[in-house]
């Protein structure tokens, strides 16, 4: 019996018996089934393709805001320092560095004379009993009330500059009219001699500043 085999090697013819022919055909069919089974297994082993994620729409970026410049008023900054004894007694503004507008309203003492408004360190003399008292006021005032109850209105006020040997310097306003007098330093308690200048406009320390 002649059997023809066509393959990639060409076309071949063989003379075989009927039994060998059946065996060859059976072997060919068995090989064919093995190849189909192998192809099916390979297809199952391949992983299923993963779907690509859909691209998310990009959100528009917000513009970066520039920081607004901060204005600093250096005039409001004040150097921190230890308060002196005088500042503890009368406040940090005892020198009268921060000026305030004086009130427009004034009370008449005598016809044609108006009381002066002052604040800060004051040395006042009672015009009735003659007692002298020094004090500090943070508010403007135009009169001094003595312990005797009399009210002395301020006029013809003069500057007074007290310079003590302890190194303290104080500026007062006074209604005194005497040529010379002594007053205690509020820092150390020592007596300081003062005199009215030749123009009779201010009191200064006798001997000058120390």
Averaged pLDDT score across all residues of the chain: 77
Of the listed ranges 83-97, 105-119, 134-148, the one predicted with least confidence: 83-97
- For residue 143, report the phi and psi dihedrals to the nearest 5 degrees: -155, 160
- For residue 118, report the phi and psi dihedrals to the nearest 5 degrees: -140, 165
Q: Are strands 180-184 and 169-174 parallel, antiparallel or unpaired?
A: unpaired
Query: Which SS3 state, helix, strand or coil, does residue 36 take?
Result: helix
What is the C-alpha to C-alpha distance for residues 101 and 70, in angstroms, rounded to an integer? Answer: 31
The pLDDT assigned to 105 comes to 47
Q: What pTM was computed for the model?
A: 0.48
Q: What is the average pLDDT across 139-157? A: 94
CB atoms within 10 A of CB 106: 13
**E strands present in the chain:** 2-7, 10-15, 108-110, 113-114, 118-125, 132-141, 143-145, 151-153, 158-163, 169-174, 180-184, 191-196, 202-205
The pLDDT assigned to 34 comes to 72
Residue for token digits 């500090």? 136
Q: What is the average pLDDT across 5-20? A: 73
Higher pLDDT pick, 87 / 204: 204
| Sequential DSSP letters for 70-122 | PP--GGG--------HHHHHH-TTTT--S--PPPS---EEETTEEPPPEEEEE
Q: What is the average pLDDT across 160-179? A: 94
pLDDT in tens, 34-53: 776 776 666 655 566 666 66
Q: What is the average pLDDT across 178-194? A: 93
pLDDT band at 13 (very low <50, low <70, confident <90, very high): confident
The pLDDT assigned to 107 comes to 47
Q: Are 69 and 78 in contact (CB under 8 A)?
A: no
- Measured CA distances, 130 to 5, 92, 97 (Å): 153, 31, 31
The answer, yes or no, to whether residue 175 has pLDDT greater than 90, is yes
């Amino acid at each position: 019996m002649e059997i023809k085999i066509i393959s990639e090697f060409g076309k071949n013819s063989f003379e075989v018996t009927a039994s060998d022919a059946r065996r060859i055909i059976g072997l060919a069919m068995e090989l064919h089934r093995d190849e189909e089974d192998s192809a099916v297994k390979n297809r199952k082993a391949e992983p299923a393709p993963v779907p690509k994620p859909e691209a998310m729409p990009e959100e528009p970026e917000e513009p970066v805001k520039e920081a607004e410049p901060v204005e600093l008023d250096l005039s409001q900054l004040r150097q921190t320092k230890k308060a002196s004894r005088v500042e503890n007694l009368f406040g940090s503004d005892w020198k009268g560095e921060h000026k305030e507008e004086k009130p427009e309203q004034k009370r008449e003492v005598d016809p044609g004379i108006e009381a002066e408004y002052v604040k800060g360190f004051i040395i006042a003399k009672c015009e009735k009993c003659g007692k002298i008292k020094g004090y500090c006021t943070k508010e403007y005032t135009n009169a001094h009330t003595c312990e005797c109850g009399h009210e002395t209105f301020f006029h013809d006020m003069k500057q007074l500059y007290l310079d003590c040997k302890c190194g303290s310097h104080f500026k007062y306003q006074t209604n005194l009219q005497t040529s010379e007098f002594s007053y205690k330093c509020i820092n150390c308690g020592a007596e300081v001699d003062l005199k009215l200048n030749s123009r009779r406009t201010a009191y200064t320390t006798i001997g000058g500043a120390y």
